[in-house]
Amino acid sequence: INEGLLALGNVINALADDQRLAKNEKVHVPYRQSKLTRLLQDALGGNSQTLFLACVSPSDTNASETLSTLQYANRARNIKNQPTKNVDGTALELQRLHALTYVLEC
């Protein structure tokens, strides 16, 4: 799990790099470092809206883990995606053919 979280942190750092975003530069995002980042690739850097939920504890014994989680979430909030509507060409073609069939039958 730690290897996957480390890889996820590297991906988040690459996607949330403010200097790169300001210059509109492309940078290599290491999605292939772990199975976790491969699975989350579309959600993190794709055209979707993504919600990060950080679970923290108010206990003093978990303070270091809570701080680490909050830093993780703070970096993740800098990721900017541009969601777009996915259009299924097959559905559009089917709709067009149904309309054509209706016209030809009349």
pLDDT at 43: 87
Please name the residues in contact with 10: beta carbons below 8 A apart, sequence gap of 6 or more: 30, 33, 37
The domains of the chain are located at 2-105
What pTM did the predictor assign?
0.69
pLDDT at 86: 77
pLDDT at 18: 63
How far is 51 from 48, CA to CA, in rounded Å? 10
Q: pLDDT, tens digit, for every residue of 4-60?
A: 989 999 999 998 886 666 677 777 889 999 999 999 998 888 888 888 899 999 999
The whole-number average pLDDT for the span 51-77 is 93
Residue 79 has pLDDT above 80, yes or no: yes
The domain 2-105 having CATH identifier 1.20.1250.20: the answer here is: no
